[in-house]
């Protein structure tokens, strides 16, 4: 499994503008998004201006901290008791959208009213 992570969380707006000013880099990112499944890879783009990707990263960090493995369900009791406290109301309102995004990326799979960590999700975590 190949992991590709582009992290803009410490980049200035000017640095991000320079990155995106190269059409080849933007084209490469788009190519990886389209072909990530056939390349057996995960692609994470962390952009602090994208609130949904930031919530997704916070959820993934919590899962790592909680040492989740394939088949574990999320949100779990410890996240509901403690993880939500670390989020502000706007972030809490984006949680379900973040779960759906992770389901689309095959990190989580929905079963009834809960999400289960997949092998792809495990690979993204570790």
Q: Which range of residues forms the domain containing residue 122?
A: 50-126
Residue 59 sits in the same domain as residue 35: no
Residue 62 sits in the same domain as residue 113: yes
Task: Please state the pTM of the whole predicted model.
Answer: 0.65
Task: Check: CB of residue 111 under 8 Å from CB of residue 75.
Answer: no
- What tens digit of pLDDT does each residue of 20-38 get? 899 898 888 888 888 887 8
Residue 74 sits in the same domain as residue 110: yes
Residue 1 sits in the same domain as residue 18: yes
Residue 29 sits in the same domain as residue 60: no
Instruction: Name residues whose C-beta falls within 8 Å of residue 90's C-beta, 6 or more positions apart in sequence.
Output: 51
Number of domains making up the chain = 2
Tokens of residue 94, six digits = 């984006």
Residue 70 sits in the same domain as residue 108: yes
Check residue 93 and give its pLDDT: 87
pLDDT exceeding 90 applies to what percent of the chain? 19
Check residue 15 and give its pLDDT: 86
Q: For residue 64, give the DSSP letter.
A: H
- What tens digit of pLDDT does each residue of 97-115 get? 999 999 998 999 999 888 9
């Amino acid at each position: 499994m190949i992991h590709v992570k582009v992290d803009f969380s410490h980049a200035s707006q000017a640095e991000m503008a320079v990155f995106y000013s190269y059409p080849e880099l933007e084209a490469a990112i788009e190519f990886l998004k389209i072909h990530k499944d056939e390349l057996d890879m995960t692609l994470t783009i962390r952009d602090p201006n994208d609130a949904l990707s930031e919530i997704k990263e916070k959820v993934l960090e919590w899962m790592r901290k909680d040492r989740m493995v394939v088949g574990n369900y999320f949100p779990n009791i410890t996240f509901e008791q403690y993880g939500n406290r670390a989020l502000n109301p706007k972030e809490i309102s984006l949680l379900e959208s973040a779960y759906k995004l992770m389901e689309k990326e095959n990190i989580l799979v929905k079963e009834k009213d809960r999400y289960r960590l997949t092998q792809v999700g495990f690979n993204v975590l570790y």
